[in-house]
Amino acid sequence: MLFVFRTRQGQDDADEEEADLEQQETAAVEYDADFAAECKQEGNQHYLNGSLNLALKCYSDAIEFCPPGNTEQLAVYYANRAAARMQQKQFDKVVEDCTHAIDANPNYTKALTRRSNAYEKQEKWHDALEDL
């Protein structure tokens, strides 16, 4: 499970309260490759059932819990989230997620193809061709 704690330090000055909101403390995330894989599997089920928002949440959790050195799996999680976003026609976010996937695994053909398709939907023909 992801545990993020945000605390607000009490301050008397109203001007400092706004600054305090911007400086919220966040606890460290505990990475868990097995839990990340479970989140991905749950996301796949939601995706197949057409529950795209739930799929997005699961894929986001998988990304959050994936250990940084597990680049191949991280690429898959980003590409899966991109697939759900493609169904929702969020093409800018598809490009973003696919770019993260490609950064993690430069040879990941599925991410390159998906990003190319998103570029096509945006009529960015040159960018689409570069990914093929």
| Tally of domains within the chain | 2
pTM value is 0.78
CATH number at residue 38: 1.25.40.10
At 127, the pLDDT band (50, 70, 90 cuts) reads very high
Residues 125 and 72 reside in one and the same domain: yes
At 91, the pLDDT band (50, 70, 90 cuts) reads very high
Residues 26 and 37 reside in one and the same domain: no
Residues 37 and 5 reside in one and the same domain: no
pLDDT digits (tens, 9 = 90+) for 36-85: 999 999 999 999 999 999 999 999 999 999 998 999 999 999 999 999 99
CA distances from 88 to 9, 36, 81, 109, 116 (A): 39, 23, 11, 22, 16
Residues 45 and 104 reside in one and the same domain: yes
Report the alpha-carbon distance of residue 21 to residue 7 in Å, rounded: 9
Predicted pLDDT of residue 28: 56
Chain position carrying tokens 């998988």: 62
pLDDT digits (tens, 9 = 90+) for 12-48: 444 454 444 344 333 456 899 999 999 999 999 999 9
Give the ranges where 10-124 is alpha helix by DSSP (H). Answer: 14-22, 33-48, 52-65, 71-87, 91-104, 109-121
Asked if 51 contacts 79 with a C-beta cutoff of 8 angstroms, the reply is no
Residues 36 and 25 reside in one and the same domain: no
